[in-house]
């Protein structure tokens, strides 16, 4: 998979305007800045960018599109003014449909393999809260810029669920092992300021525009680096985690299906959904 992606890494001419590359799907848009050649992938699933089957499929398709069109980089962000992504759509896991939940988890695996393994430089402009699956997307990127007063982290244990190994290894690729272990066990959500202090995010910006500009600046640091050498270096550094999921996709899916169907897990998810609804009516 990575080999064919690498074939796309040839220098490209740049023009001066920005163009919408894809409106084929309604849940993501891809806008390429023709001056910089950088693609911005925006998640757009109200109210909270909950990662359901359709959004995951659209994200995957958009990443493939960006890989295919020789963009110089990928910036992931959200159209919601206060939420990057609320993580996995809990309705996909609560009282799930037998076929759909398999497609859902497979789509999540596809997104992670494509984003974590992307041959182009990636950055996340985290313009809002980013729990669980939202944090997975952000930490799959190479660089993170976050707006103040939001939260980010893997809070799974607080929901009575367990983050799969590849969520954990992605988190651990950003945070020191000891800190990652403690945060995962606690289900800790970091404020922007805390996330910056521990290195979970790289920079803070005061607006989405500024966050995108900082992400573009990061991607720009590769302008004078040979793209093939950069991509092969990234590929080698990330190969172990990618191979582990590629080799164990089926077992990972079966483990998820078994776990999510446990009565205690279903009960916990139901209670959590109720608490989210109650919060909305307060």
Ligand X SMILES: CCCCC/C=C\CCCC/C=C/C(=O)SCCNC(=O)CCNC(=O)[C@H](O)C(C)(C)COP(=O)(O)OP(=O)(O)OC[C@H]1O[C@@H](n2cnc3c(N)ncnc32)[C@H](O)[C@@H]1OP(=O)(O)O
Q: Is 88 a catalytic residue?
A: yes
Burial degree of 20 (CB within 10 A; 0-12, 13-18, 19+): exposed
d(CA 222, CA 81): 29
- In degrees, to the nearest 5, what angle opens at C-alpha 69 toward C-alphas 126 and 6? 90
Provide CB contacts within 8 A for 178, sequence distance 6+: none
Q: How far is CA 170 from the centre of its chain?
A: 10
CB-closest chain residue to ligand X: 87
Q: Pick from 19, 23, 91, 246: which binds ligand X (CB under 6 A)?
A: 91
Beta pairing partners, 88: 51
DSSP H or E run through 113? helix 98-116
Q: Compare residues 190 and 256 and give the one whose CB is closer to ligand X.
A: 256
Q: Is 136 a catalytic residue?
A: no
Q: Is 269 a catalytic residue?
A: no
Q: Pick from 58, 156, 202, 241: which binds ligand X (CB under 6 A)?
A: 156
Q: Is 149 in the site for ligand X (CB under 6 A)?
A: no
Residue 158 CB, shortest distance to ligand X, in Å, is 7
Q: Is 101 in the site for ligand X (CB under 6 A)?
A: no
Pairing of strands 28-33, 38-43: antiparallel
Catalytic position from the list 65, 92, 142, 156 = 156
Q: Pick from 86, 114, 146, 200: which binds ligand X (CB under 6 A)?
A: 86
Q: Distance of CA 199 to CAs 18, 171, 180, 195, 275, Å?
A: 32, 11, 11, 6, 31
Provide CB contacts within 8 A for 54, sequence distance 6+: 27, 45
DSSP H or E run through 130? strand 130-131
Q: Compare residues 39 and 135 and give the one whose CB is closer to ligand X.
A: 135
Interacting stretch for ligand X, rule CB under 6 A, among 30-38, 155-163, 203-211, 229-237?
A: 155-163
Provide CB contacts within 8 A for 201, sequence distance 6+: 126, 138, 144, 145, 146, 152, 192, 195
Binding mask 38-57 for ligand X (x = CB under 6 A): ---------xx-x-------
Residue 76 CB, shortest distance to ligand X, in Å, is 16
Cβ pair 139, 168 in contact under 8 A: no
Binding mask 111-130 for ligand X (x = CB under 6 A): ------------------x-
Q: Pick from 27, 132, 175, 242: which binds ligand X (CB under 6 A)?
A: 132
- Tell me which DSSP letter residue 224 carries: T
Would you tell me how many other CB atoms lie within 10 Å of the CB of residue 111?
A: 24
Q: Compare residues 32 and 137 and give the one whose CB is closer to ligand X.
A: 137
Catalytic position from the list 53, 56, 76, 88 = 88
Q: Is 226 a catalytic residue?
A: no
Q: Pick from 32, 42, 72, 87: which binds ligand X (CB under 6 A)?
A: 87
Q: Is 260 in the site for ligand X (CB under 6 A)?
A: yes
Give residues in contact with ligand X (CB under 6 A): 47-48, 50, 82-83, 86-91, 129, 131-133, 155-156, 159, 161-164, 255-256, 259-260, 276-277, 279-280
Catalytic residue positions, numbered: 88, 133, 155-156
């Amino acid at each position: 998979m990575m080999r064919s992606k690498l074939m796309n890494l040839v220098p490209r001419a740049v023009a001066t305007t920005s163009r919408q590359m894809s409106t084929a799907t309604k849940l993501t848009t891809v806008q390429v800045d023709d001056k910089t050649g950088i693609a911005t992938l925006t998640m757009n699933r109200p109210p909270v960018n909950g990662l359901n089957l359709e959004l995951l499929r659209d994200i995957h398709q958009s990443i493939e599109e960006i890989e295919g069109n020789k963009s110089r980089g990928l910036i992931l962000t959200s159209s919601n003014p206060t939420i990057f992504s609320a993580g996995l759509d809990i309705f996909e896991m609560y009282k799930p449909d037998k076929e759909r939940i398999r497609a859902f988890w497979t789509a999540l695996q596809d997104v992670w393999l494509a984003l974590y393994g992307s041959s182009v430089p990636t950055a996340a402009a985290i313009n809002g809260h980013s729990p669980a699956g939202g944090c997975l997307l952000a930490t799959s990127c190479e660089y993170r810029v976050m707006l103040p007063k939001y939260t980010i982290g893997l809070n799974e244990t607080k929901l009575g669920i367990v983050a799969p190994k590849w969520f954990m290894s992605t988190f651990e690729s950003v945070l020191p092992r000891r800190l990652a272990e403690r945060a995962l066990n606690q289900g800790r959500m970091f404020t922007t300021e805390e996330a910056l202090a521990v290195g979970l995010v790289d920079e803070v910006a005061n607006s989405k525009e500024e966050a995108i500009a900082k992400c573009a600046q990061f991607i720009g640091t590769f302008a004078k680096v040979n793209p093939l050498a950069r991509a092969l270096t990234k590929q080698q550094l990330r190969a172990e985690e990618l191979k582990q999921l590629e080799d164990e996709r089926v077992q990972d899916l079966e483990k998820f299906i078994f776990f999510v169907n446990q009565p205690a897990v279903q009960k916990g998810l139901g209670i959590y959904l109720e608490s989210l609804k109650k919060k909305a009516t307060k």
